[in-house]
Chains A and B, each alone.
Chain A
């Protein structure tokens, strides 16, 4: 399937969705006022991907900032993978950013997927 990519802007992240490799990567910052506008095509791509996913899927979240409406989009996205085998989440946070680490830990309580935490 076709890859979907977005370049980073002041308020939206760099997104690389690689269907063949099974890697979905979000980096930078995500605080658009209406996050649904930005995440709608991403969620649609994920729905297509899940019809015939790669043997394993890695979701990489490497965000410095995100707002509450983005957090709902990320959770909805992760939610879609709960029944997909061999899916892992790699959650990155800046060394001293305890808030982002805490947030990742809470997401891992809400979502039934294995999370691995990494420091940038």
Chain B
């Protein structure tokens, strides 16, 4: 039976991992997401489902453990926060190149550098434009509630294995730390050895006499073959658009639009109510997948509005994808606090009036 609990986002993602049939979690403490590893260590999932939980010596080691486990066909995940995710870029790039499924959650904090431990959304570029070296994309999911923190674990694993690609849950310190009601799914059993071999015939599960050896590598010194490989990856990144997700909130009669994801979308939802109380017809467009970006739906909405405010806790990263989607058809402006400061619904409303409604 599904179960309703009051949980913080970091606990929800941990519990959801156990219930999603995750085989292994490899992590390293960093604020504001250390509760994930703490919850798993206390919960002893190795007794509940046989899931492995290991505290690695660094984010570098943790993510390379994902590379090892994922390449062997297992459902593996890690979580970290911004500085830790920067360290992980090496193996993320290797896994994208070698086409290894895995799930990585970034509970974003303010940067650059050690920055702050407070929430931010300043890792948008890193998450959606590759992040490490080479031509690649991650499938990126942006939860805006504790419920979605939990739901996106199962969905994330599905996408990771569907596309044989790392999937990132791009959360932030607000969603990780906030407590909300969450409905947890019934536990899905971990796959058997036979099921893994059937689902992942490419995985390093041991070379049996009935097949050729499986090799997991991102290396091919022949530029013609490597080019073909990268072009195949591109095709895959295009195909991901089939699974694009978004949410429209009060957009039907909207004359203005706020575009925001994650916690900024939650905050902006309140802004919309405040604005409508003042007679400003504004709607909210919330991308749920940040890659693939829901560009077609945003383009459609852009045709009915006079202006768009892109709201994110960064200097303006999401806004680039918004502008690409609307082709300069309507004015697009940015608003957002940075460095760990979180905007209020009233500040967003003020910005909406000043930058959009009063101008266009």
Q: Report whether chain A binds chain B.
A: no
Q: Measuring CB to CB, which residues of chain A are less than 8 angstroms from any residue of chain B?
A: none
